[in-house]
Structure formats: C-alpha cells, structure tokens
Structure 1
Amino acid sequence: MTPSVSTVPTTQQTCGGAVQGDTLVVNDYGGPLTPAIDSLIVSWIPETERGLAVTIYTTGVQVAGFVGIPFTAAICASALKWPAVYYISALAAFVMLAVYLLTTTNSPSEVKWMCDEEKEYLQQALGESSPKERPKDIPWLSLLTCVPIMACYACQFAYAMGQTMLQFYIPIIFKEILFLPIQQNGLYCAVVNIVAIVFKIVWSILLHKLNQQSFSTITTCKISQTFCKSFIKAATRAFSIRYNS
C-alpha cells in the first residue's frame, strides 16, 4: 500500500489510468486491515473491554482527519504543493510499519517491557486459550448466504459511504459556498473530526455502562443503531429545511 501511495504523483503525470490503479490498490488494502486488528484485539483485550478498545483504535480515523487535513492544506498552499502530501504519507507509513514490527507481539505473554502484574491480569481476564485447529476448508457459500453477515456488510457499506460523502463534500461546501481559503478550509474540516472524536468516546463509554448493566451486547448495539439512525435522519432533515429556506 505504501509504494502505491508514493507513486501517485508520478502516475498522475504519465497516465490517468495508473492513478486509478494506485487508488484501487490503496483501497483494497484497507479491507483486510480491520479484521487483522480485530484478531489482535481478541488476543489482547478482555471481552468486557473490547467495545472501548474498538472505539479507541477506530478513533484513529478521526485523529488522522484532525491532524492530516490541516497539514495537507498547509502543504498544498506551500511551495511543495500536493505531490509532497503523498511522499510524506508514504514516509510516515514506512516509519509506522517499522515501529509496528519492532513493538507488536501476538500475545501479552510475549511482551518484554510489560510488568508482571499486568501480564497476570490479562492472562486471568483472557483465560488460558489453547490453540484451536483451523478448518481445512472455508465455507464460502455459507458465508455468502448468511443473513447476519450480509447485514454486517450492508451496515459497513452504509457507514463507509457516509464517511466518504462527508470527507468529500464538506471541503467543497467550505470552498464553493463559504469561499474559505485552502488553509482555513483545512482547519474547519478538522473541527468536524474533533466533534466526532468527542462524541464517539462519550457514546462508547455510555454504551459500555449499559452493557455492564442488565443489557446484552446485542441490545446495546440495537439501541445505539436506532438512536444514531434517528438522530442522523432528523439532522439531515433539519439541514435540508434550513438550506432550502
């Protein structure tokens, strides 16, 4: 993925189709990333704390928007121009990859710089997990026809589509309607991510409290989805009425 990011400026000058190919490669690498992180979460985080853990690592998207958008705007407005954004992003990805390879382990018992008390707590909370035999054949047909899995795919698609629309259209609104210069555009876009971070963490803590009470994980998830769907629908309706008036 990192080489594909770094070659975007070069391919843009030579072939437009190559840019689309690089973008496709970058996006395709994002698909297996979340399941890989989830597999680490299962080996590291107790079941009662995994909801908060997922919130923390997925908040990285908003943190990247909060830091990256103003930084990108500043780079584009400087003498380096937009190609430097891709080169700096690729360099940062290489640095993060090196840090990951040097510090990450498969389980808490393999960490060298963790205190014994924390290791003992995690081992007791996670339990003694014996290695499980992996299935020889993956039931692809059953997976593709499983209704709950298809529902998860639909929810993920809707979420990704909403995020993409927000990231794409908010800068356009700030530029074409509010006539903000590029650096102020980046700052105002960062504010959106700050609000998302605060709401995401607070909402996750509230759901975690509900989950610790008599509510099951499924019930808590349904409450969250119902509230968010109703809130988004009402906010979108109010915005359209205000914009058209």
Structure 2
Amino acid sequence: MLIGWRKTVAKCFIIPQRVVLSIMGFLAIVNAYTMRICLNVAITEMTVKKNKTFIDDGVDRGICLVEGGSSGGNMGKGIFEWDEELIGIILGAFFWGYVITHLPGGLLSEKFGGKYTLGLGILSTAIFTLITPVVINWGGSTWLIVLRFLEGLGEGTTFPALSALLATWVPVKERGKLGSFVFGGGQVGTIIGTALSGVLIDYYDSWESVFYFFGILAIIWFLIFIVICYKDPESHPFITEKEKDYLIREMGALSRDKTLAPTPWKAIVTNVPMMALVCAQIGHDFGFFIMATDLPKYMSDVLQFPIKENGLYSSLPYAFMWVTSIAMGFVCDWMINRKMMNVTNSRKFYTTIASFAPACLIVGASYAGCDRVLVVILFTLAMGFMGGFYPGMKVNALDLSPNYAGTLMAITNGIGAMTGILGPYLVGVITTNQSLYEWRIVFWIAFGVFNITNVVYIFWASGEVQPFNDSELLKKSKESLANSDSEANHNEVKKPKLISIKGNKNES
C-alpha cells in the first residue's frame, strides 16, 4: 500500500525531481542573496550623506551635479553618521563569517547530504535578517557588524551544500544548464534585493521594511524545501522509476558512494587544475562583490540617483547577467553534447568571456563620467558577459571531483569570498571623497584582478575528473578486495580438480 501511495504521489510531479531540486536550489540562492544585498541599498538611506557643494572655480573634481548646481540633492533621511571606511567594514563583515563555514559545510554535506546543511543555514540567516532593525537601533554599528558576521556564518554552507546535492542529482550532460540555472539565483537574488529594497523603502518610507520582508520570504522557502527535497535520488520517496533508471544509466548510482575514504586533502591542495579554479574564483568574486556590494553606493553617491531609481538601475545589470548565464549554459551543454568543444575548453572559453569583457566595460563606465544612461548601459553589459562564469568555472568543481564536490566548492568559494571582505573595505578607503576619479582606481584594480586570474585559469584548468576523486586509500581497498575475490575464485576452481585427482588414485 505504501509503495502504491508513493507511486501515486510521484505522478503528481509533472517535472523530474532533479529539476524540482534545481528550482529549490535556485530559490535558496535567491533568498541568500536578497538577505545579503538588502543592506547595501538600505544603508544609503540609513546614513547621513555629505553635502558636496559645487564651487565653480574651473577645477574638475570628478563630482556629478544635480539640478540646482549642487551634488548634494539626494540627502535622504539618514540618522547614522558612519564614514566611508566604517561602511566598508559593515558591508564586509558578512564575509568574515561567510568564509569560516564553507569548509565545515562542504564536509557535512558530503557526510550527511546537503539537505539540512543548506536548509538550516538559510533559516538561521533569515532569523538574523528579521532582527536586524532591532539590533541596529539598539546597538548601532558595532552590533550590526556582529550580526552581519553571524549571517555570514549561516550562508557559508549554501554553495558547498548545493554542490554536493547537484553532484548527486545532476548528470554531466545537464550540469551546464541546470548548474547555471541554480547558481544564477545569485543574479536574481541581487535583482530582487536591490530593486525591491528601493521600492519598499520608498513606499513605506522605512529602511526597516526590507529586512522584515526578505527574512519572512526565506522562512517560507525553508518550510517548503524541507518537505519536498531529499539529499539523493535513492532516499526520495516520490521519484519515478523512469527517472531512477535514467540517473543510474547516466551517473552509475543513486547516492554518494558510502565506501569513500576520508577527504584527500594533500591531493586536492596540490592539484594544479584545482588551484587554477581557486584563482578563477578569486577573479570572479572580486569583480562580482565590488559590483554587488558597492554599485548602489556608486549610483547614490556619484550619479546621485534617488533611492527608488537607485534600486532599479542597480538591479538591471544582474537581470541581464541572469538571462545570459542561462542562455550560455544551454549553449555550453549543446556544444559539449555535439562534441563541438570538450568540457575543458568550454569551461575555459566561457570563463574568458566572463573575465575580459566585464573588465573592459566597467573601466569604460568610469570614463563615461556623469552620463547616467551610458554608465548604466556599460554596467549592464559588463554584468551580462559575467554570466559566462556559471557554465564556465562555477560548475568546474563538479567536473574535477563528483565525490568531493562539496569540499572543492567550499575551498574555492571560501577563498574567493575573502575578496568580499577586501573589496568593500578597499572601496571605503579609496573613495573617501566619493569622486569619479577615486572609483576609476577601484575599477582599474578590478580590471587587473579579472585578467590575471583568467590567464592562470586558461593555462592550467581542466574539465576532467581528477585522480583524487577516487583516492589512493580507496583504490588500495578496492585492489585488495579484488585480489581477495580473485584468490577465492582461483581456489574454488582448483578444489574439484584435487578431489578428482585423489579419486583417480584410489580407483587405481
């Protein structure tokens, strides 16, 4: 009866369970990013802005003017007198916690499955997001820094847990499109987080509203995720036999190998393609976090956009990035399946697109000056090309080692996330006067980081499964088992012959 009930429920799912998991994984990252990003917009309204009055003495100070001959027309209603350096520390505090839980998250996901590692991480961040207004009004900047650190601890498990889940659920031929779709939740979360934050603050005339809204959404996601998603196909009660057969045919198993040896740390950290992947992740994260964390500040402080327009125009680049990442993911899989390009070259090709083009375009935006339309167009194109990272280096950890994908993602994403600490602080230190020329220095630094890390990836990256995926200890164990079986079979074959010979002797 139980089996019949499960089959009946399974028929209610129109789409395969691996796609259901991918959708919920996508929404997990969406929620993670909305909770991470909303402060970036809210802080522009929480803080007291400098009133930069324009002096017409013929000196170009790199300051954009608004109507009335002043650059201080967007003063807002901020009450916190935080300088640029302190704001940089606040925005970077999230990543202090974020990098710490990557590795534990990856190890726990590989040992117990990624379901609860992912779910509980998002839930904890949701609770911390909900109490943010209370903490800010009670404890000010110091306790906000502590709270953002705790939020980072919760979200640090997100990408390692999802990598472990995808490695168990998604075949190689679908990793480009489903991987790009899932990890593309970062762009959608940034879009929703920036655009809706501006709208909510403008509509309710309250920066507190964004934290309540996004915290509640994440809790709703958690409740649905826990009910309908499972750590692997083998444990899923509602998966169809057809999908099971497909996954066994494509992946060889429905769950992670329980006989795997402990994580081969030395082999991983000395593996050249793995280190190339870490380098590419640093390039991606440095550029992405500078844009995601500080673009609303650039739009507000330099281009003088009001809060509602700030949220809208800051979100446009990520909307384009999401569309291009999905499109490139489909094209990437199509090219691999048609054997037009192997996995290694496809990862390098799309990573190069995502590095070189954005590097040039964001520098170009700094030379567009105060032309708001041109700046928004250039930023939008830059982030659109950055979508190539997702079918490129972002899914590369699954290629290198399906068995240890959670750990690999923990290492790469964790090291890359350190740029989330450095980036906002660097921006705060360099842009003390909030001028175009100061921001131009920031974008030139990003240009260098993008291209240097990409060159390393081009030379040493790989899309092939690495030897450490099947560790030496496991190999020896399997070889020993094979030898034992061989010896046993050999003895079984010889035994009848000995009896037969003995029998012949007695007869004679």
Cα distance between partner residues in 1 of 2:172 and 2:268: 24
Residue of structure 1 in register with 2:343 after alignment: 217
Moved over 6 A (4+): none
CA distance in 2, matches of 1:150, 1:11: 40
Match of 2:328 in 1: 203
CA distance 1:241–1:66, change in 2 (3 Å): closer
**Mapped partners of 1:189, 1:98: distance in 2:** 30
**Counterpart residue number, 1:32:** 157
What residue number does 1:4 align with? 128
After superposition, what is the alpha-carbon deviation per residue over 1:69-126, rounded to whole angstroms, capped at 9, x for unaligned? 2221122123361222222222222111111110111233444444443333233222
Instruction: Give the match's secondary structure for 2:204.
Output: coil
Ranked by relative contact order (alpha carbons within 8 Å, sequence separation 6 or more), the top structure is 1
2:289 to 164, 188, 194: 164
The residue number in structure 2 matching 1:90 is: 215
Give the deviation of 1:50 after TM superposition.
1.1
Bigger Rg, structure 1 or 2? 2
Deviation at 1:233, TM superposition (A): 3.2
Residue 247 of structure 2: which of 112, 122, 130 is its match?
Answer: 122
CA 1:156–1:30 in structure 2 vs 1: closer, same or farther (change >3 Å)?
Answer: farther
The secondary structure found in structure 2 opposite 1:78 is: helix
Give the C-alpha shift of residue 26 in structure 1. 1.7
CA contact (8 A) 1:7 1:22 kept: no
Secondary structure of the equivalent of 2:259? coil
Q: Aligned-pair distance for 1:139?
A: 4.6
Query: RMSD of the TM alignment (CA)?
Result: 2.5
- Number of aligned residue pairs: give it: 243
Superposed CA deviations along residues 137-193 of structure 1, whole A, max 9, x for unmatched, are x45455445444333333223222212211233223332344322112212222222
Separation (CA, whole Å) in 1 of partners of 2:324 and 2:223:
32
Q: State yes or no: 1:152 paired with 2:311.
A: no
Q: Give the 5 Å matches for 1:13-92.
A: 13-15=137-139, 16-79=141-204, 81-92=206-217
- Once the two structures are TM-superposed, the CA of residue 49 in structure 1 deviates from its matched residue by 0.7
Of 230-239 and 83-92, deviating more is 230-239
Specify every segment of 5 or more residues in structure 1 that has no aligned partner in the other structure, as ranges: none
TM-score by length of 1: 0.86
Give the drift of 1:241.
4.0
Query: Which residue is equivalent to 1:228?
Result: 354
Closer, same or farther: CA 106–82 of 1 in aligned 2, 3 Å: same
Q: Which residue of 1 aligns with 2:414?
A: none
TM-score normalized by structure 2? 0.44
Deviation (angstroms), 1:14: 2.7
Matched letter for residue 13 of structure 1: N
Identify unmatched segments of 5+ residues in structure 2: 1-124, 370-435, 437-508
Aligned equivalent of 2:50? none
